[in-house]
Structure 1
Amino acid sequence: MEITLTDNIEKTYKSICRICHGGCGVIVSVQNGKVVKVKGDPASPMNKGWMCIKGVMTPEIANHPDRLRTPLLRKGKRGGMQWESISWERALEEIARKLDALKKEHGAESIALGQGTGRHHYMHVVRFANALGTPNWYEPGLAQCFIPRITVSNIMYGGFVVGDYYGDVPPKCILFWGHNPLVSGPDGELAISVKRALDKGAIGIAVDPRRSETAKRCKQWLPVRPGTDAALALAMIHVIIKENIYDKEFVEKWTHGFSELREHVKAFTPEWAETITWVAACDIVNAARTYALNKPAILEWGLGIEQNTNSLQTVRSIAILRALTGNIDNPGGDIIGKNIIRSYPTLKEKLPEGMLKKRLGADTFKLLGGWRAFMPSAHIPALFKAMRTCDPYQIRALLIFGNNPLTTVANPGEVYESLQRLELLVVTDLFMTPTAALADYVLPAAFWPEVEQVIGYPLVVENMVMAQQKITQHAECRQDEWIINELSKRLHLPGSEESLEDVMNYQLEPLGIDYQKLKTSGFFYPPHQYKRYEEKGFRTPSKKVELYSKSLQRLGYDPLPTYKEPPESPVQSPELVEQFPYVLITGCRKKEFFQSEHRQIPSLRKRRPHPQAEMHREVAAEKGINHGDWVIVSSPRGSIRMKAQVTEDIHPRVISVEHGWWFPEKAGPEFGVWESNANVLTNNKPPYDPAFGSYQLRGLLCAIEKEKT
C-alpha cells in the first residue's frame, strides 16, 4: 500500500493486533503516517471490541524513539556496542554471501534459524529453513509449549481442539489446567471470551500452584505441586470411571482402549495422588465430579503441563478427560478445528534427502524432530551445544527473527557462550536487546501495524481467518518475510519466485477469496459444524479417540499415560532440600508484557516497574520478608534479584517468579540481563521427555532470602 507521510487527515483501517499471538480485531487510526490510536473492533467475532493494555499502547511502541531504524553492522569486538548503519542492499548481499559460503564449505546443517513464539513470520522461517536446506531451526516453546498439546491431540483425536466460546451454547464448566488465559490470552483463545463465559455462570476449576487471576474467578482451586499434574489427571480419570460418571454412549461408540484404560487406572486413587500432588483427595474427587457432571465443558490447558520431563504422558493423561466425558466437538465444549484455509506452504519437500538424519535431536526425540513430529525442529539444548562443542558437528551461523534467547532459553550462561562461538549471528528485532547486542548484523523489524498477513484463528484449528494489513512504515523497518524473501532471491532458493501475497492467496484459495478481498472485509467466519466425526469418524487409525495409542506404542512410548516424578524435586532430590527447601515455578506472565518484550515502554513499565517473586505469607514471615522488599531467589544453578509479592494465593511451599526480565534502560550489551532473568535458575540438562525432549522449567528446587543491604 502507499502511505502518504504528509497527510494530516486521520484515517482508520481494520486489522488484527498481533502484539502477542492473541488476535484481537482492531480499528487503527493513522495520522501523518503514524499510528495515533488503536481500539477494539466491535465487529470482530473474537474480541468484539475488547483490547488488552498492550494493544491499546500500540502507538507508544510503534513510535518509540529507541526502535531500530536501519540495518546495523558490528564494528570491533562482539558485544562492543559499536555499530555502523548500512543500507539494506549491503546488509542482504553480505549476509547472503556469507551464508552461501558456509553452506558450500560446511553444509546447510551448519546454519541454524531461531525465532520467537507465535509471530506472523513463524511459518515463513520454517519455509526458509527447508528452502535453505537446513534441518536446524528452533523456537523456545516447541518442546516446552504447545507442540506437545497439538501432537497429542492429533494422535488421540485426529485434530486439535479449542474451546467453543463463539457459538450459541455457553459452557457450563471450564477446567483451567496450568493455564491463566485472563492474563495470557494465547493463540486466539482470548481473555475476554473466557471472562464472558465465567460472567455467564460457567463453573471454573483451576489446577495451578498459584491462585492466578483466572483461578480467583473459579469455584474450585487445586494448588498442585508443580510437575505432578499427570498424577492428578490419572486420579481424576480413576474417579470418573469408578463412579460411572463418564459418558457411556460416547465412550462405547467413539473411543478405543477403554477397557485397558479402566484396568490401568485402578491403582491411581485420589489417596495415592494426594501424597504426590499435595492436593487433598476430597478435592480431587470434587473436581472430577464437577467436570464430568456439568456439560458442556471446556478443558483449557496451558504450557504449565508441558514444561517437565514427563511432557508427553502428562498431556496425554489430561487429554483423556475430554473423551471420557464426551466433551469433544459438541456445542459449548471443546471443538475440533475446521482448518478452513490451506496449511502454510513450508516447502518441506525441498529439504534435501539425508537432512532429516542430521537434525539435532531428531533421532532421540521423535515427536519433536522425527517424521511424526507436527513441526519438525531441532532440540534446543543439542543445538546450542553444537555451537559450543562441535558435537556432532559445528553450528557456525544463527539467524534469529524476533527472539531474545538470553532471556527466553534455559541456562542463559550456556546460551551466551554458544552465541560467542558463532561465525555469523544475525538478529532481526524491533529494539536492541541483549541478544542483538552480540550480533554481527542487526536488522530492523516491522511492528504489527507495518505487516501483511493472513492468519487462521484460533491457531492450529483455523475456524476463522483474518487479514492483517500494512498501515504504516517506520523508518527502514521491514517485515521479516520480506527479509527472508530477499535473502532467498540472492541465494537462488526454491520458492524465492513467490511473493508473500502469492503464499497468502494460496492459503485462501479454498474459500474463493484472495488477500485483497479479505483485507477489505477483515475476517471470514463460516458457521461451525459440530460432531463431524459422526459422518467419517475421527482422523485416527481406529477412526475413534485413541485412549490406548498403538501409534505411540510403535514409536516406543507407553500406550497409556503414566506418572514419573520430576528429576529435581523434594522427593527425587532430598540432598538438595535442606539448602533449597521450596518448589519453583518460572513462567508467571503479566498483562503489560509479552515474553521479554515491552519493558522499555513507559506506560507499560510504569504499571509494572519491577520483577516480582510471589511467596506465601508463611514463607515471608519465616524469612523476615515484607511485601515490596528486594529478595534473592536461588536454585542450584544461580541467583536472581526480585521484589517480594507476599500473598495467600499460592501454595505455601511454592515460589513463583516472573519470566522474561531484562532492563533496556541499563547499559548495553548486557542491559541487566543477568540480574532478574528467571532462566538463570532453570535447567536444560537431561533427563528429557523421551518423545519431545522437554526439560524441567517448573517444579525445580529453590531458596529465597531477603536481600542484604
Structure 2
Amino acid sequence: MDQFAEPKPEIYSVDTKVLKSVCRSCHGGCGTLLHVKDDTLVKVEGDPDSPFNQGRLCPIGNATREMVYHPDRLKYPMRRKGERGSGEWERLSWDDALGEIADKLTAIKNEFGAEAVHLGTGTGRHHIRWVSRFAFAFGSPNWSEPGFAQCFHPRVNACTQTMGDFPVSDFLGPTPAECICFWGHQPLNSGPDGETRFNARDAFKNNPKTIVIDPRETFLAKKADLWLQLRPGTDDALALAMIHVIINEGLEDTDFVTGYTHGFDALAERVTDLTPEWAEEITWAPAGKIREAARMFATIKPALMEWGVALEQTPNCIQTVRAVSLIPSITGNIDVPGGWVFGMHGLGPVPSLIENLSPEQNAKRLGFENFKMLCGEGAALPAAHIPTVLQAMRTGEPYPVKAFLIFGNNTLTTYGDSKTVYESLMKLDFMVNTDIFMTPTAALADIVLPAAFWPEINEVCGLPTIAGNVIAANQQAVRTHECKSDEEIFSALARRLNLDVGTETPEEVYEQQMQAGGSGLSFEDIKQVGFHQMPITYRKYEADGFNTPTGKLELYSTRLEEMGYDPLPSYAEPPESPLSTPELAKDFPLILTTGGRNPFFFNSEGRQVKSCRKGAKQPTCEIHPATAAQFGITDGAWMWIETARGKIRQIAKVTNGINPRVINTEFGWWFPEDPAPDYGVWKSNANVLTSVKPPFDPQMGTYQLRALLCKVSNVVAGELAE
C-alpha cells in the first residue's frame, strides 16, 4: 500500500523550466526562481519581482542547492537496531515505517491515553500548524514548539490580548518610516524571517532616525542615531521609563489615546514613579539617553518598532512585551502608513482541528491550569508547556508522556537545559524524528524519517507570518531519494491510524486555507503567478474598532484581568541576576546573554553545509578586552563559559562592543563532523548553560534563557583532548 501515490508534477521534463517559489530556509518568504532541468535543480536565485527581497538572497538561501544535494541527507526511513543512541540503523520502507509508528501510537493511546503522545517542532515554517493539527486529530492536547513560550508567540499573544490582532512593520506600504527603533533585533544580520533584513535595509534609503536598544554594539548600533546599551533582561524597566517620559511630557497622541484606547489613566498612574533615573540603576542605560529615545520615538512620525526575540526569554516575558508594545500604541503609530499595520489575512490558517478535543481532553494539556496564555483560554493556538512535558517524560507526573514525535527540531540544541532534555528523552518508550539530516536528537530516535527540503514540496504561505499581506506558493521543483514533506507524512499517518479527521491531502488543506482568506484566489492561481500582494488598508479601527472586549486598544487589558493576571505592564528582576541572587553572583560574576543569530545558519541548521561553515567555522563568544585580560583569555583562542548548570567552550571574540560585565555566546552549535551519536553536542551548545526550572512567566510559562549568571576562564593546553 503506497500512502503517497500521486502523479509526477509537470515540471519533470528534459527542458529547463523556471518556477516561482519562496525560500523557506528560515520561516521567511523571500521570492525565488528555481531552475530545473532533467529532474535536477540546477540553479536557485532570488526573484526580482518579489516585494520582499527584489532578487536578493542571504547566505542560507544561496546554499539551497547544496542542502538539496548534500551527501549526508537522510535518504529513507530507518529503524534503530541497538540501544537508544547506539548509531545502529536498518532501512525501512515507508509502508513499514508508517505501520510501526501507527501500531506503537495506538498501543500507547490504548494504555495511557492519547495525551501520552507528544508532538514537537522547532520553527514557524510550513509544517508548524500541521504538527498541532495532527496532535489534535489524534486526540492529544500535547504539542510544543519552543517559540510559543520563548520566541515570537509571546508577542503574538500579548498583542492579541492588547489590540485584538498582531501588527507587523509596514515596510511594503507607500509611506516610509521616519523613525525606527530596533529593540533587541538585528535584522540586517539575520532573523527568523529573512526577508526582514532586506526590508530593513531598504528602509534606510529614506534616512530615518534610528534607535537601537541592545546589550551589544551591533552593526545597527554603530550606525544608529542613539544606542542604549542596557543590562540583559531589563527591557521591561526601560520600556516603562520611556512610557513615563512620553506621558509625563505630554508627548502621547491625544486624539488616538482619547478615541481609541482603554486604560490610559491607569497606565499613567502605573508609571508615575518609574522615571529614567529609576531605570538607569536597573538597566545601566543613562537616564538622559532614555529620555532622548522616548522623545525621538514620540515626536518623529511615522515611527516603527522592530523588536526581537530578546524580549521573550526571561520570566517576565508577557509584561515586557506588553510594555514595549504600548510605546507605539500611545504615540499613535498603530495601523498607520509607515508604522505598525494589522494584516490583511489573505490566507487562512491551517485548520487546527482543536474542536476534535473534548473540553475534558483539552484540559489535560500539560500546563493548562498554570499558563493560560500558552496552554489555555488566552492562547491564539494552545500549546503544551515544555518544562512540564519534560517533567512528565522523566517522572510520569502529572501523568506519563511515553512517545515523542519530532518534526524539524534538534531538541538537544534548541530546548533550554540540554542535559535535562537528554535525561527526559532517554526515558521515552518511543521516539520518532523527521528531519533533513541526522542530528544529535535524531540519533536518539527509534524511527527516523527523511524530510523533504523546501524546493521539494508544494505549499502556500501568508507573509509576513500572521499578517498574510502577501500570499505565495512554494512549488515542488525536484524530489530527492525517498524524502517526503511533513504534510504528506501527517496525512498518510492519519489515514494509517484511521483517524476521523486530518486525513486530507496537503493540496486539499491549502485550498481550504485559500478559501478562508480574503484573496478570492485558489491554490492553483497562486502557483501560476507565484505570489499575490493584498492591498493594505490603514486605520481599520476607525470603522471596526479593535477586536477586544472594550472595542479599543487595551492599555489596561481586561482579558488579562479576567484571567487573573496584572492588566498593566510591570517590571520584574530576572530570577538569576546580580540583584536577585547576589550569593550566586559571587561564584558567577558575569551576565550571560545568548541567542543572537548568525547570518550563516538558521538556529541549529546548516552546520554541515560547507558554504555556511566557511562563513562561521567555529562558535564565538564576545567578551570585553578588560574582562578577557582579567581572566587570561586571548582573542581567537578557546575559552570556557560556565553556569550553575554546565560548561561549554567557544572561541573568544574580544570586542569593545560589549559591557565588561556581560558576555555573549552563540547558540545552536553542534558538530556534524564529530562522531555519532553525540556529534559534539556537549562541546559548545549554549543550551547546556540555560535553565528550564521555575520561576516561569505567569502567563506564558517562559523560562530564563538570557541574563543568566556565568563565569569564564581560558582553556589551557590539554583540556580539549577527548
Same fold by TM (over 0.5)? Answer: yes
> SS of 2:561's equivalent?
helix
CA distance in 1, matches of 2:541, 2:9: 48
Q: What's the counterpart of residue 246 of structure 1?
A: 252
Q: Do the aligned partners of 1:34 and 1:63 also contact (CA within 8 Å) in 2?
A: no
Letter of the aligned partner of 1:671 in structure 2? Y
1:121 pairs with 2:120: no
Aligned to 2:607: 599
Q: Match for residue 18 of structure 1? A: 24
- Which of these residues, 439, 445, 449, is aligned with residue 451 of structure 2? 445
Question: Residue by residue, what CA displacement relative to the aligned partner does 1:120-166 show, whole Å, maximum 9, x if unpaired?
Answer: 11111111011000011011111111111001111111111011111
Please identify, of 286-295 and 334-343, the stretch whose mean Cα deviation from structure 2 is larger: 334-343
- Specify the alignment match of 1:359 in structure 2: 365
SS in 1 for 2:595: strand
1:165 paired residue among 171, 177, 192: 171
Residues 662 and 673 in structure 1, CA contact (< 8 A), matched pair in contact too: yes
What is the one-letter code of the residue matched to 2:695? P
Distance (Å, rounded) in 2 between the aligned partners of 1:4 and 1:81 = 39
Q: 2: distance between equivalents of 1:677 and 1:450?
A: 30
State which drifts further: 516-525 or 216-225.
216-225
1:516 alignment partner in structure 2:
524
- CA–CA distance in structure 1, aligned partners of residues 580 and 333 of structure 2: 36
Aligned to 2:284: 278
Find the aligned partners of 1:70 and 1:649 in 2 and give their Cα distance. 47
Q: Distance in 2 between matches of 1:321 and 1:643?
A: 38
1:55-454 alignment runs, 5 A limit: 55-187=61-193, 190-454=196-460
The residue type equivalent to 1:576 in the other structure is: L
Query: Residue in 2 aligned with 1:679?
Result: 687
- 3-state secondary structure, aligned to 1:59: helix
CA drift of 1:706 comes to 1.2
Contact 1:5 1:32 in 2 (8 A): no
Shift of 1:34: 2.3
Tell me the equivalent position of 2:585.
577
SS in 2 for 1:449: helix
Task: Tell me the residue number matched to 2:573.
Answer: 565
Q: Is contact 1:455-1:467 (8 Å) kept?
A: yes
Provide the rounded CA distance (Å) in 2 between the counterparts of 1:4 and 1:549. 52
SS at match of 2:712: strand
Following superposition, the deviation at residue 7 of structure 1 comes to: 5.2
**In structure 2, how many angstroms separate the alpha carbons of the residues matched to 1:32 and 1:602?**
25
Q: Secondary structure at the match of 1:360?
A: coil
Measured after TM superposition, the shift of residue 67 of structure 1 is: 0.2
Residues 6 and 312 of structure 1: CA distance in aligned 2, closer, same or farther (over 3 Å): closer
Contact 1:198/1:217, CA 8 A, preserved across alignment: no
Q: Deviations over 1:236-266 (max 9, x none)?
A: 0000111111111111111111111111111
Deviation at 1:6, TM superposition (A): 8.7
Cα distance in 2 between the residues matched to 1:6 and 1:138: 37
Task: Tell me how far apart the structure 1 counterparts of residues 641 and 470 of structure 2 sit (CA, whole Å).
Answer: 44
Q: Secondary structure at the match of 1:89?
A: helix
1:633 aligns with 2:668: no
Q: How does 1:502-541 map to 2 (within 5 A)?
A: 502-509=508-515, 510-541=518-549
Q: CA RMSD for the aligned pairs?
A: 1.3
Give 1:698's match in structure 2, choosing from 672, 693, 706: 706
Q: For 2:363, what is the secondary structure of its paired residue?
A: helix
Alignment counterpart, residue 494 of structure 1, candidates 497, 500, 507: 500
Q: 1:33 offset after TM fit, Å? A: 2.0
Residue pair 1:4, 1:32 contacting (<8 A) in 2 also: no
Distance 2:329 2:171 in 1: 19
Distance 1:189 1:302 in 2: 14
Distance in 2 between residues matched to 1:531 and 1:277, nearest whole Å: 35
Give the aligned residue type for 2:572: K
Instruction: Specify whether residues 352 and 6 from structure 1 end up closer, same or farther in structure 2 by C-alpha distance, changes over 3 A only.
Output: closer
- Mark the CA change 1:58 to 1:98 in structure 2 (over 3 Å): closer, same or farther: same
Greater shift after overlay, 667-676 or 336-345?
336-345
Which of 646, 666, 670 is the equivalent residue of 2:674? Answer: 666
Matches of 2:35 and 2:630, distance apart in 1: 53
Aligned to 2:475: 469
Q: Distance in 2 between matches of 1:214 and 1:36?
A: 36
On the 8 A contact 2:588/2:709 being kept in 1, the answer is: yes
Note if contact 1:37-1:56 (Cα within 8 Å) is conserved in structure 2: no
Is the deviation greater in 68-77 or in 572-581? 572-581
**What's the secondary structure of 1:36's corresponding residue?**
strand
Aligned counterparts of 1:33 and 1:425: Cα–Cα separation in 2 = 34
Q: Which amino acid aligns with 1:571?
A: L
Who is 1:623 aligned against?
631
Corresponding residue number in structure 1 for 2:696? 688
The CA deviation at 1:229 is 0.6
Specify whether residues 111 and 641 from structure 1 end up closer, same or farther in structure 2 by C-alpha distance, changes over 3 A only: same
Residue 664 of structure 1 aligns to which amino acid in structure 2? P
Q: Secondary structure at the match of 1:190?
A: helix
Give, in whole Å, the separation in 1 of the partners of 2:45 and 2:635. 35
Q: Distance in 1 between matches of 2:141 and 2:575?
A: 30
Q: Percent identity of the aligned residues?
A: 50
| Aligned 8 A contact 1:138 1:378 in 2 | yes
Which secondary structure does the structure 2 equivalent of 1:46 belong to?
A: coil
The residue type paired with residue 273 of structure 2 is A
The answer to which of 494-503 and 311-320 deviates more is 494-503
Higher mean alpha-carbon deviation, 622-631 vs 418-427, is at 622-631
- SS of the aligned residue for 1:358 comes to coil
Q: Distance in 1 between matches of 2:542 and 2:192?
A: 30
CA contact (8 A) 2:53 2:195 kept: no
Q: Quote the Cα distance in structure 1 between the aligned partners of 2:260 and 2:153.
A: 25
Shift of residue 549, structure 1, vs aligned partner: 1.2
- CA drift at 1:36: 2.2
Which secondary structure state, in structure 2, belongs to the residue aligned with residue 295 of structure 1? coil
Q: C-alpha displacement at 1:3, in angstroms?
A: 5.7
**Contact residue 198 and residue 204 of structure 1 kept, 8 A:** no
Q: What SS does the corresponding residue of 1:355 show, helix, strand or coil?
A: helix
Is the CA contact (8 Å cut-off) linking 2:133 and 2:502 kept in structure 1? no
Counterpart secondary structure, 1:456: strand
Aligned length: 709
Question: Structure 2, unaligned stretches of length 5 or more?
Answer: 1-6, 718-722
Distance 2:146 2:622 in 1: 24
Contact 2:436 2:452 (C-alpha < 8 Å) held by counterparts: yes
Distance 1:386 1:341 in 2: 36
- What is the DSSP-based 3-state SS (H/G/I as helix, E as strand, rest coil) of the residue aligned with 2:696? coil
Q: Measure the CA separation in 1 of the matches of 2:205 and 2:227.
A: 18
1:645 deviation in Å? 0.6
Cα distance in 2 for residues equivalent to 1:377 and 1:341: 22
Q: Which amino acid aligns with 1:412?
A: S
Q: Secondary structure at the match of 2:694?
A: coil
265-274 or 536-545: bigger deviation: 536-545
TM-score (norm. length: structure 1):
0.98
- Hey, what does 2:461 align to over in structure 1? 455
- Structure 1 stretch 339-348 or stretch 516-525: which is displaced more? 339-348
* 1:38–1:189 distance in 2 versus 1, CA, 3 Å: closer
Question: Quick check: 1:545 aligned with 2:558?
Answer: no
